[in-house]
Structure 1
Amino acid sequence: MTNRKSAGTGKTATMPATPAALTLSGQQYPNDGAGVSKGTLRRVVGASFIGNFVEWFDYAVYGYLAVTIAHAFFPEADKQTGLLLTFGLFAVSFFVRPLGGFVWGHIGDRVGRKNALSLSILIMSAATFAIALIPGYTVIGIWAPILLLLVRVVQGFSAAGEYAGASAFLVEYAPANRRGIYAAVVPASTATGLLLGSLIALLLSVSLSPDQMNSWGWRLPFLLAAPMGLIGRYIRTRLEDTPAFLALEKEDEAVKAPVTALFREHWRPLLIAVGAVVLNAVGFYVVLSYMPTYLSEVVGLSSSASFLATTVALATYIGFIFLTGLASDRFGRKRVLITASILFVLLTVPAFMLLATGNFLVILLVQILLGAMLTLNDGTLPSFLAELFPTKIRYSGFAVSFNLTNALFGGTALFASTLLIKLSGSDLAPGWYLMGAAVVSLIAVSLARETSKAPLQS
């Protein structure tokens, strides 16, 4: 046995020499998935999947229908300015995510992962549904974009708890040697949300006339959020919290101020986590969300062809995600994350040069390649970030680092890409931006320790 003081409390918890169980007050609590039934694991996977699915379905629809949304809320602006304003609203909603990270991290580490996730999905789905009900600019004038901004701020706040909470939930339930593949469910769920959003955008673009899309067609996808959110909340409320958190709760070992403990005692892994997320933040939005707009507005591909290429790339991305999770379990998180960064440094700009050819087959192959490269980062990052922090502050550490970085670089990626093209006059600007993000993540991950083979910190 080994003794370890809990952060922020001064209490000492007795830990086993192996990660098979937590032993507190003479009782054993399964850790790293030991003793958890397969049925429970399936329910945990489903509960973690659906919340992120709903969240990223919304982001996909907003990004893929950006041109139509710009017409509905900024009809008096020219096309490029309308896009900038629409993506600006997209970015502003991200600025509240660090605040959400603090709040949801505190709730998750103090009250429990399940409670935080059950509440966040309810707020998220309600806000997404509300977008479908906002009248356009021609009906209520300036109040239309103001209401859209307010709803997206609520979305940003609620979304701050989803990705981090689901990742922590899965990692704390997963078997010790399979944390990577289980945590890969989280980015897979985001990609599935994007995939459904892309499919619906494609269906609408080929089924409705431009007038129908501008007047009511764009609202239809947002209406789906309410039933999906209610289903997700029902699944989550029927689960127990993770064994690791229940053990801490029983011994009153939960930190009273987890965010304070995070900045005071775990600032080094926090800085590493922030740097590691940069490639994910920029890459995810540029490669999977901004790309249809880039292909149609910059390259000149038709809207239907742009959506089709992105849809195929997303389908392959989901498969690659799980392969990456398996690879990170076998070869280690650090090695896989470093490989991702190096590939983006070397291949991003050449990939954007090939996109500029306008050849559909070439574009499709390039998108599949970029998506596969991105999965090396995205499929490994959830388990890597969760393993960086001890149980007492795991939700806070993940939520703060992930949401702070996404606020600075993820939410602004669509706006920055559009602005950089306008300022530089170069269609390759998003590629250079993505390459720079890869350099930052490469440095950060190089400074990290390997986490895949070690037991979860208590």
Structure 2
Amino acid sequence: MNQKKLLAACAIGNIIEWYEFMIFGYFAAIIGTLFFPSSSSLGSLFKAFGVFAIGVLVRPLGGILFGHIGDRFGRKTALLVSIYLMSVPTVAIGLLPSYESIGIFAPIALLCIRVLQGLSMGGEYAGTIVYLVENTKTSKKGLYGSLAAFSLVLGMAAGSLVFAVFHALLTKQQLLDWGWRIPFLLSIVGLAWGLYLRVKLEDSGVFTELKEAGNLARIPIKEAFSESSKPLFQTVLIQCLLGVGMYTMTIFYANYAREHFASLSSVSPILLNTPGVIAIGLAAIVAGKFSDIFGRKNVLLYSAICSFFVSYLTIPLITHGSVESFFMAHIMLSTLTGCFLGSIPSFLAESFPTKTRYTCVALSNNLSMGIFGGTAPMVITYLIDKFHDPVIPNYYLMVSALITVLSIYFSKDKRLSPDKELSYAREFKHN
């Protein structure tokens, strides 16, 4: 498979995952109304974000499941199963009857679907990172790792675009009645394309060599904790800022702006979010390339330090009260989030040995996203409602940045002292 098709095969799963992530977030208010009737719109939104958080919290279990599949049976097998398990439940959301039709079974069914999606999410991104980094030249691992991260941004953009189109073409009542379902149903197109591309994948050279030598881990999760417990714990904390930043920038801010700025029309969340998403994507690619030049740890550390100070410095922009100042703060914070997003993939892959790499990357990423990221919109919504302070997100980001800075400081940059496995004797012709 040539390089373009390989990248497409890896990217499609992340695109579907974050496409669904975005449309669920954008339609959270409608989903809350239809599946969680409440006396207040904030109450329904809070419950919808709660279901959203549960889907993310089960990701570590998905990481263990798909890590076992990927480390025992191959990266290709894990990537095929994960895209199927993500797409089918997404389509199911679009077909699910509301609370008015089937009562309490509606939110229960939605919760079950989100659990299945969460399991898939636990293996998809990690598998993409591992597969791309294992099939790339040593000098380009940072760049290609950032392309895995960039595919997340493409999914965000797709979700934003679809939301904008439907909001422009349909009335609020049409969206409430049936329009919100169609974006979920559209994911069946991605499923068909993704399966077609991934069937043609081959397992990476380093995994194949490990398999032929009979050195595969029998119980990857057990060996991950027995041999890589320290880097596993460190990388969970290192990604704290990434989790909070991504979920706050892409989900919370759009809904917050929509609720608190009367001047914003129905397309205002897109106008606010899309430039931020573009900033995340561009910054991710640049940071990935820089990590090949200056080292993963250096790029991660300076990105986290800057995030701490910029989160504080943008407080006046949030409290100023204008759409323009709010928009400016969002762009600045999104750019720094992108820097972290682009440099973390190769850092994660290089932190663990081949035989437990899939398990460790998946578990590390998902524990961090579940603990710090998935709960961020719900916690921030609760704190703002309790304290009536619009800069709660900034304080939350500052605490996250501090945790990340300290964790990075005590970590090692494996790129600067690679072991034999990461020197990759086999270099692929398409590179």
Does TM-score exceed 0.5, indicating one fold?
A: yes
Q: 2:130 aligns with which of 168, 183, 196?
A: 168
Distance 1:67 1:336 in 2: 37
Tell whether the 8 Å contact from 2:283 to 2:336 is kept in structure 1 after alignment: no
Instruction: Name which of structure 1's ranges 39-48 and 254-263 shifts more when overlaid on structure 2.
Output: 39-48
Tell whether the 8 Å contact from 1:328 to 1:452 is kept in structure 2 after alignment: no
User: Residue 424 of structure 2 aligns with which residue?
Assistant: none
Distance 1:265 1:137 in 2: 48
Question: Cα offset for 1:355?
Answer: 3.2
Q: Does 1:366 align with 2:366?
A: no
User: Residue 22 of structure 1 aligns with which residue?
Assistant: none
| Secondary structure, counterpart of 1:452 in structure 2 | helix
User: After the TM superposition, which residues 27-426 of structure 1 pair with which residues of structure 2 at under 5 Å, given as runs?
Assistant: 40-300=2-262, 301-426=264-389
Question: Cα offset for 1:299?
Answer: 4.5
Question: Cα offset for 1:317?
Answer: 2.2
User: Residue 443 of structure 1 aligns with which residue?
Assistant: 406
Structure 2 residue identity aligned to 1:377: F
Distance 1:173 1:456 in 2: 16
Structure 1 residue identity aligned to 2:364: S
Unaligned residue ranges in structure 2 (runs of 5+): 422-431
Distance 2:10 2:415 in 1: 21
Question: Cα offset for 1:388?
Answer: 0.3
- Distance change (3 Å), C-alpha of 1:306 and 1:389: same
Unaligned residue ranges in structure 1 (runs of 5+): 1-38
| Secondary structure, counterpart of 1:241 in structure 2 | coil
Distance 2:286 2:226 in 1: 36
Tell whether the 8 Å contact from 1:188 to 1:318 is kept in structure 2 after alignment: yes
Distance 1:117 1:270 in 2: 22
1:365-403 per-residue CA deviation (whole Å, 9 max, x = no partner) reads: 322211111111100111111100011111011011111
Aligned pairs, number: 420
Tell whether the 8 Å contact from 1:179 to 1:383 is kept in structure 2 after alignment: yes
Instruction: Name which of structure 1's ranges 336-345 and 362-371 shifts more when overlaid on structure 2.
Output: 362-371
- Distance change (3 Å), C-alpha of 1:390 and 1:55: same
1:12-67 per-residue CA deviation (whole Å, 9 max, x = no partner) reads: xxxxxxxxxxxxxxxxxxxxxxxxxxx53322211111110000100100111111
| Secondary structure, counterpart of 2:413 in structure 1 | coil
Distance 2:168 2:310 in 1: 33
Distance 2:184 2:321 in 1: 31
Distance 1:56 1:457 in 2: 34
Structure 2 residue identity aligned to 1:366: A
Distance 1:286 1:343 in 2: 17
Instruction: Name which of structure 1's ranges 112-121 and 41-50 shifts more when overlaid on structure 2.
Output: 41-50
- Distance change (3 Å), C-alpha of 1:445 and 1:320: same
Tell whether the 8 Å contact from 1:332 to 1:453 is kept in structure 2 after alignment: yes
Question: Cα offset for 1:255?
Answer: 0.9
Tell whether the 8 Å contact from 1:108 to 1:396 is kept in structure 2 after alignment: yes
Structure 2 residue identity aligned to 1:304: V
- Identity of matched residues, %: 36
- Distance change (3 Å), C-alpha of 1:76 and 1:288: closer
| Secondary structure, counterpart of 1:100 in structure 2 | helix
TM-score normalised according to structure 2 size? 0.94
Distance 2:18 2:91 in 1: 14
Question: Cα offset for 1:91?
Answer: 0.7
Distance 1:143 1:350 in 2: 46
1:340-378 per-residue CA deviation (whole Å, 9 max, x = no partner) reads: 111121111432441343433333332221111111110
- Distance change (3 Å), C-alpha of 1:271 and 1:354: same
Q: 2:394 aligns with which of 407, 428, 431?
A: 431
1:85-140 per-residue CA deviation (whole Å, 9 max, x = no partner) reads: 00000011122211111111111111111110011101100010100000111111
Question: Cα offset for 1:199?
Answer: 1.5
Structure 1 residue identity aligned to 2:158: L
Structure 1 residue identity aligned to 2:278: A
- Distance change (3 Å), C-alpha of 1:108 and 1:457: farther
1:159-218 per-residue CA deviation (whole Å, 9 max, x = no partner) reads: 100111100001000110010110111211111111111122122222211111111111
Distance 1:47 1:356 in 2: 44
Distance 1:352 1:308 in 2: 21
| Secondary structure, counterpart of 1:379 in structure 2 | helix
Tell whether the 8 Å contact from 2:276 to 2:334 is kept in structure 1 after alignment: yes
- Distance change (3 Å), C-alpha of 1:217 and 1:356: farther
Tell whether the 8 Å contact from 2:349 to 2:357 is kept in structure 1 after alignment: yes
Tell whether the 8 Å contact from 1:202 to 1:307 is kept in structure 2 after alignment: yes
Distance 1:191 1:101 in 2: 21
- Distance change (3 Å), C-alpha of 1:457 and 1:139: farther
| Secondary structure, counterpart of 1:76 in structure 2 | coil
Distance 2:419 2:7 in 1: 19
1:381-437 per-residue CA deviation (whole Å, 9 max, x = no partner) reads: 111111000111110110111111111111111111101111222111121111111
Tell whether the 8 Å contact from 1:208 to 1:217 is kept in structure 2 after alignment: yes
TM-score normalised according to structure 1 size? 0.89
